[in-house]
Amino acid sequence: MPDQIPFNRPALVGRELEYLKSAVSSGHTSAGGQFSERVSALLADWHGAEDVLLTTSCTDALEMTSMLLGIGPGDAVIVPSFTFTSTALAYARTGAVVRFCDVDPITLAADPSSVEALVDERVRAIVTVHYAGIPGDIEGLLEVSNRSGIPIIEDNAHGLFATLDGRPLGTFGRMSTLSFHETKNFSCGEGGALVLNSSVDVDNAHIFLDKGTNRRAFMLGQVDKYTWQSTGSSFGLSDLNAAYLLAQLQARDDVLRERHRVATTYRELISPIADEFGLQLPAVVPGTTPADHMFFVLFSTSAQRDDVLQSLRSAGVHATFHYVPLHSSPAGRRFTDRRTECPVTDDVSSRLLRLPFYNELEGPSIERVVAALVEALQTT
Ligand SMILES: *Cc1c(COP(=O)(O)O)cnc(C)c1O
């Protein structure tokens, strides 16, 4: 068997273990400890946000966006079909229906004209995903939002520290969400964050996070005891996870530099053969600094993608496909009030392959991945 090149490999990038020890010895390991405060402050500062709340996952942060907007039975939310289940699940969980829009074939982000066609008085939010950390037509989405008065939520699980025209992704919508799952650029095993760009959401967000209590107002000395105020859950991230995460985020420049090296090497090696084999690579959007969350290739047919995937696996290279369209999934069909066609999503989903991608993926391994890719293309 050839040496295996995994798809992803989580790594220590700095002071994670030291901070973990310090969190334990501080005696505060639940949510809201000193490490959580430092991570929140760092993320709020980057986004220029009103507040950032750390959550157990991006899925939970998305669920909080639904609760904050008071979305429930009778309401609809527009979500791209080309995304992870969480983006839709969060709204279905609070009782809303989901309407699936299609994506742009170049950026793979929500297509404003597809969004606009789904807008009516039931729609309470428009969710966009910056796939691979690449922004789509944000201006177009903001125009739909401004015309209709429907807020935008950014599922920014892939795009932390990416910018568009100097402005961080995650600051364009009323709120945005982040993921610190093992597979993301910055990780603490499982974790997430809710970025609040509007001050009107701050108090309620803390109540929802604190199991429905006004504990934060109590901690701030605004009330003399805290009580059950409303709905909520146990959404807060443990300070153990926050300690690990702070170390990851402090190593931001190193992580971004390594990921940029991996992405750039892939692009330099694959670009020269892209035309010959009909390959499409991740879009380079003018005015952006990328997050380099992943590197994918779009093949000319799905049969070719499937063949290449098999050949790479036999060569010990763990490439993988990505999202299965949500609009035609069993739950997607159940939790909608309007069955839509998403031809770009169907097409892209069947032709896309993600290549191994992690901070420590070295040049020779990248060359081996590309050599295996070329060999697969020549023999299929
Ligand atoms: C990873 C991911 C999520 C879910 O993140 P969790 O932290 O695992 O809940 C949601 N949306 C997108 C686009 C993702 O990639």
- Report the DSSP beta bridge partners of residue 125: 77
- Per-residue pLDDT, averaged over 118-122, amounts to 98
Dump pLDDT digits (tens) for 261-270.
Answer: 999 999 999 9
The protein residue whose alpha carbon is closest to atom 15 in ligand 1 is 157
Would the CB of 311 count as within 6 Å of ligand 1? no
Which of 181, 155, 149, 161 minimizes the C-alpha distance to 65?
A: 155
- Rounded to an integer, the average pLDDT of 24-52 is 97
CA 186 to chain centre: 11
Which helix H or strand E contains 23, and what residues bound it? helix 16-26
Query: Cα(327)–Cα(310) distance, rounded to whole angstroms?
Result: 27
Provide DSSP, 98-160: EEEEPB-TTT-SBPHHHHHTT-STTEEEEEEE-GGG----HHHHHHHHHHHTPPEEEE-TT-T
Pairing state between β 167-168 and 288-289: unpaired
**What span, in angstroms and rounded, lies between the C-alpha atoms of 299 and 304?**
7
Q: What is the pLDDT of residues 196-242, one digit of tens each?
A: 999 999 999 999 999 999 999 999 999 999 999 999 999 999 999 99
pLDDT at 380: 76
User: Does the C-beta of 155 come closer than 6 Å to ligand 1?
Assistant: yes
> Residue 2: what pLDDT?
80
CA distance 129 to 162: 13
The pLDDT of residue 211 is: 97
- At 1, is the pLDDT very low, low, confident or very high (cuts 50, 70, 90)? confident
265 CA to middle of ligand 1, Å?
A: 26
Give phi and psi for 362, each to the nearest 5: -85, 160
* Helix, strand or coil, per DSSP, at residue 167: strand
Q: Looking at the predicted structure, is the pLDDT value of residue 321 above 80?
A: yes
Q: What is the pLDDT of residues 42-64, one digit of tens each?
A: 999 999 999 999 999 999 999 99
- Span from the CA of 276 to the centroid of ligand 1 (angstroms): 35
76: tokens are 């609809």
Tell me, using a 6 A CB cutoff, whether residue 158 lines ligand 1.
yes
Over the chain, what is the mean pLDDT? 97
